[in-house]
């Protein structure tokens, strides 16, 4: 009770809503992502499940993140338990959403390393917590080394990149959702 154990998340409707919000055609998304129009159509109609890499390409083309698309794929609920057991095993590198649905907050668990060269910039604030291992985060021209139990807070709009510096690293990222206008006008401060 309270657990969502139904079918896997279906991201097609979330991809279509985002594309239409941006007033983009499938052809434009295909060009930006490097994926074919027929494949994108199959994704939108839930006839194909994109790989993690393909979902990231689609998300980049739609100026969002894979986590945002996955979060928008499942209707919101007031209480939800996301259990670790029974989930697909996290092979390194991997990311697992810790919150399902279209909520004001997102949380993800990153295991192992990922594309350390990829730069991130989120519109809203986020907090990174190192559950195990160690990471190095580069933000605003400085490098920060974090170990187990350390946190780093990033104000919305700060460009950053990070990488695991030891194996078996687990990082929890909690952020205000991109669809929420949580950024205040910092020029007035």
Residue 185 banded pLDDT, cuts 50, 70, 90: very low
In this prediction, residue 156 carries a pLDDT of 86
In this prediction, residue 68 carries a pLDDT of 84
Query: Tell me, what DSSP letter sits at residue 73?
Result: T
In this prediction, residue 28 carries a pLDDT of 96
Provide the token pair at 92. 């390194």
Q: Could you read off the pLDDT of 121-151 as tens digits, one per residue?
A: 888 888 999 999 999 999 999 999 999 999 9
Residue-by-residue DSSP string for 121-184: --SS-EEEEEEESEEEEEETTEEEEEETT-EEEE-TT--EEEEESSTT-EEEEEEE-TTS----
Please indicate, yes or no, whether the overall pTM of this predicted structure exceeds 0.85.
Answer: no
Provide the token pair at 154. 């990033």
Distances in whole angstroms, Cα of residue 145 to Cα of each of 12, 66, 133, 169, 181:
38, 26, 11, 13, 30
Average pLDDT in the 84-99 region?
Answer: 67
Q: Please determine, for residue 2, whether its predicted confidence score (pLDDT) is greater than 60.
A: no
Residue 4 banded pLDDT, cuts 50, 70, 90: very low
Q: Please determine, for residue 45, whether its predicted confidence score (pLDDT) is greater than 70.
A: yes
Q: Could you read off the pLDDT of 57-81 as tens digits, one per residue?
A: 999 999 998 888 887 775 545 566 6
In this prediction, residue 154 carries a pLDDT of 92
Closest by CA to 134, choosing from 168, 92, 97, 174, is: 168
């Amino acid at each position: 009770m309270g657990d969502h154990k139904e079918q896997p998340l279906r991201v097609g409707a979330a991809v279509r809503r985002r594309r239409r919000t941006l007033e983009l055609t499938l052809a434009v998304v295909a060009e930006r992502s490097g994926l074919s129009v027929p494949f994108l159509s199959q994704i939108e109609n839930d006839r194909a499940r994109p790989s993690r890499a393909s979902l990231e390409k689609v998300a980049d083309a739609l100026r969002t993140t894979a986590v945002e698309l996955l979060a928008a794929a499942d209707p919101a609920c007031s209480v939800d338990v996301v259990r670790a057991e029974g989930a697909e095993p996290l092979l390194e590198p991997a990311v697992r959403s810790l919150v399902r649905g279209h909520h004001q907050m997102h949380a993800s668990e990153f295991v192992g390393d990922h594309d350390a060269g990829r730069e991130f910039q989120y519109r809203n604030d986020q907090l990174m917590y190192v559950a195990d291992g160690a990471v190095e985060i580069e933000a605003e021209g400085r490098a920060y080394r974090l170990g187990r139990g350390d946190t780093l807070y990033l104000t919305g709009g700060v460009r950053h990149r990070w990488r695991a510096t030891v194996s078996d690293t687990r990082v929890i990222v909690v952020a205000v959702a991109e669809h929420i206008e949580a950024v205040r006008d910092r020029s007035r401060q």
